[in-house]
Amino acid sequence: MDFTFSPEHVALRRMIREFAETEVAPIAAEIDREHKVPHDVLHKLGQIGLLGVCFPQEYGGMGAGEAGYCILMEELGRVCTSTATNVGAHIGIGAMAIHLDGSEEQKRKYLVPLARGEKMAAFGLTESNAGSDAANIRTRAVREGDSWILDGGKVYITNGGYAHVITVMAVTDPALGARGGVTAFIVETDWPGFKVAREEDKMGIRGTSTAELVFEELRVPHENVLGKVGEGFVAFMRSLDMGRLTLGAAGLGGAQAALEWSVRWAKTRKQFGTELANKQSVQWMIANLATEIEALRSLVYRVAWMVDAHQPFTQLAAMCKMYGSEVGSRAIDVALQIHGGLGYTRDFPIERAFRDARIAEIFEGTNEIQRIVIASNIFRDYGVRIRP
């Protein structure tokens, strides 16, 4: 057993923290207020190689593995959940699908520019009636010579409003359904028939694009089928697993920031003649929170290590996402409570972090879906197949 980070990962974290504090933290309030995707920051992240943090060097990546990717998400989550979300959608599910299932040509053509941040990616799975129930997809793809014609649409697509490349799930054989009838396609967003229909007005992560997409007779060349025809669903589930783990890491960063704010305020603010730090209610909040954060940290990096060691991790990734998002929400709720009125105003970052944190319990499969994933894995070990 060895619970220490490698010197490379330590150096990576130092580099990312410096970037996060000098480049990301100062713009976090502004991009929230103005609903602005931080394109400059994303561009710089690409230039220093961080948008390919976990991809092999031969495809323009940094080769720092899933652990490196979790470090990136933790450090970004610590200062700005919007930025972490943009990056997570790009790397963790958008580009990741191509990394996992792309052909050599597809990786050369798409993964390399994505890893360098020259292009941005998104992941197109959710539809109005198929969110957590991914098997209920209605977008159709019909073969026509060397192409596929896509018709339908997607909703709540993170990065959807500005991504250059979107991996899209469509039904190629309605008779077969999710297992065998759904195929993944690499779609370039400047192709005719691709349209961004609207941007959502969200409570938090307002520095991200959450778009509704429409496909009208969108022609996709057959060479852009990702993986095998009919096996898109299985492939996408793997990408989602990778993404889920790193959401736990982002939640960890957010929770850590909330703890630091809380401790600093509690040692400063006086009520009834003494610092809040001397009040036992506050001490309990801090102690409980710190314990949860340590448990989360251990879980996240253990699972990252399992991914890098090629061990199965689906169930644990669901736990990371679920627990990470709930610790994240509880942490910022505690920070808000300790700050009282100051925590409730938009003049301090806590208010933004409170709104931002709440999405993590919902997106990328609601926490209810994560519980179903966890339970079905556990019951499967006992030979029982459960229905959701």
Partner 1 sequence: MDFTFSEEQEMFRSMFRDFSAKEVAPKAEEIDHQEKPPLDILRKAASQGFLGATLPEDYVGAALDYVSYALLIETLAHDCMSVAVTLATHVSLVAMSILETGTEAQKEEWLPPLAAGEMIGAFALTEPDAGSDAAALQARATPDGDEVVLEGVKTWVANGGIAGLFLVFAQGPQGVEAFLVPQDTPGLTVGYREPTLGLRSVPFNTIYLEGCRVPVANRLGEPGKGWVIAQRAQDRMAVALAAAGLGVARAAVEVAAQFATERVQFGVPIAQKQAIQSYVAEAHVEVEALRYLVYHAAWLVDQGGEFSFDASVVKNFGARVARSVTNRMLQVLGGYGYMEDYPMARKYRDARALGIIGGPTELYHVRVAQRIFSEWNVEITP
Q: Residue from 129, 288, 291, 311 that binds partner 1 (CB under 8 A)?
A: 129
Q: How far is the CB of 35 from partner 1 (least distance, A)?
A: 11
Q: Residue from 279, 306, 308, 314 that binds partner 1 (CB under 8 A)?
A: 279
Query: Looking at beta carbons only, is 90 or 358 nearer to partner 1?
Result: 358
Q: Residue from 200, 234, 290, 308 that binds partner 1 (CB under 8 A)?
A: 200
Query: What value, to the nearest 5°, has the Cα angle with vertex 372 and ends 369 and 374?
Result: 110
Distance CA 240, CA 232 (A): 12
| 270 binds partner 1, rule: CB under 8 A | yes
| 388 binds partner 1, rule: CB under 8 A | yes
| 137 binds partner 1, rule: CB under 8 A | no
Q: Residue from 227, 266, 355, 357 that binds partner 1 (CB under 8 A)?
A: 355
| 154 binds partner 1, rule: CB under 8 A | no
Tell me the backbone φ, ψ of residue 46, rounded to 5 degrees: -65, -45
| 90 binds partner 1, rule: CB under 8 A | no
Distance CA 248, CA 236 (A): 19
**329 near 357, Cβ under 8 Å?**
yes
**109-128 residues near partner 1, rule: CB under 8 A:** 126
Q: How far is the CB of 263 from partner 1 (least distance, A)?
A: 17
Q: How far is the CB of 341 from partner 1 (least distance, A)?
A: 5
Query: Looking at beta carbons only, is 248 or 343 nearer to partner 1?
Result: 343
Query: Looking at beta carbons only, is 203 or 309 nearer to partner 1?
Result: 203
347 three-class SS: coil
The token duo for 202 is: 């969200």
**267 near 339, Cβ under 8 Å?**
no
- Binding segment for partner 1 among 40-48, 189-197, 221-229, 358-366 (CB under 8 A)? 358-366
Q: Residue from 310, 341, 382, 385 that binds partner 1 (CB under 8 A)?
A: 341
Helix 7-19 and helix 65-79, axial crossing angle in degrees, nearest 10: 30
Query: Looking at beta carbons only, is 29 or 306 nearer to partner 1?
Result: 29
Q: How far is the CB of 294 from partner 1 (least distance, A)?
A: 24
Distance CA 179, CA 255 (A): 38
Q: How far is the CB of 387 from partner 1 (least distance, A)?
A: 8
Q: What is the dihedral of CA 243, 18, 77, 308, to 10 degrees?
A: 30
Q: How far is the CB of 339 from partner 1 (least distance, A)?
A: 9
Catalytic (active-site) positions: 364
Length, in residues, of the chain: 388
Query: Looking at beta carbons only, is 61 or 328 nearer to partner 1?
Result: 328
Among 135, 18, 127, which Cα is nearest to 78's? 18
Among 253, 211, 201, which Cα is nearest to 83's? 253
Among 72, 64, 76, which Cα is nearest to 23's? 76
**243 near 303, Cβ under 8 Å?**
no
State the distance between the two ends of the chain, measured CA to CA, in whole angstroms. 37
| DSSP notation for 61-112 | ----HHHHHHHHHHHHHHH-HHHHHHHIIIIIIIIHHHHHH--HHHIIIIIH
Q: How far is the CB of 332 from partner 1 (least distance, A)?
A: 11
List contacts with partner 1 (CB under 8 A).
Answer: 126, 129, 131-133, 136, 155-156, 200-204, 270-273, 279, 281-282, 336-337, 340-341, 343-347, 351, 354-355, 358-359, 361-363, 366-368, 371, 387-388
